[in-house]
Amino acid sequence: MSFADNLRDLPAIDHLAALELLDEAGQVVASIPNQPGKAGSLKLYAALAARHGAINLAAAEEGLALFAEHTEDARQHPGSHPNIDRLFEVIATGKPLSVRLLPA
């Protein structure tokens, strides 16, 4: 299935303005706003956090599968897909990220 197909199966995010990712010290390391070009990543990360409680190893592996065709492109072009690169980093380091949802 493609990334677009996978997104159709995930819960709506109309109630979110953004999502913040926090490191082990509670510092915000990234923010994904609910705006064009970012909403797909927000929807995916929000679903992963709901399923796994954080962006941990299992969530990162699932996320790479859900990003589908974009995952291989991210492997070939590091830096071009920061939200996918972040999942690679969680897998490589074993360090999970906490998620804070920001309501709309």
Structure-token pair, residue 39: 């909403």
CB 34 within 8 A of CB 20: no
pLDDT average, residue stretch 46-68:
98
Model confidence, pTM: 0.95
Dihedrals φ, ψ of 45, to 5°? -65, -40
**74-102 pLDDT, tens per residue?**
999 999 999 999 999 999 999 999 999 99
Strand pairing of 28-33 and 98-103? unpaired
pLDDT band at 15 (very low <50, low <70, confident <90, very high): very high
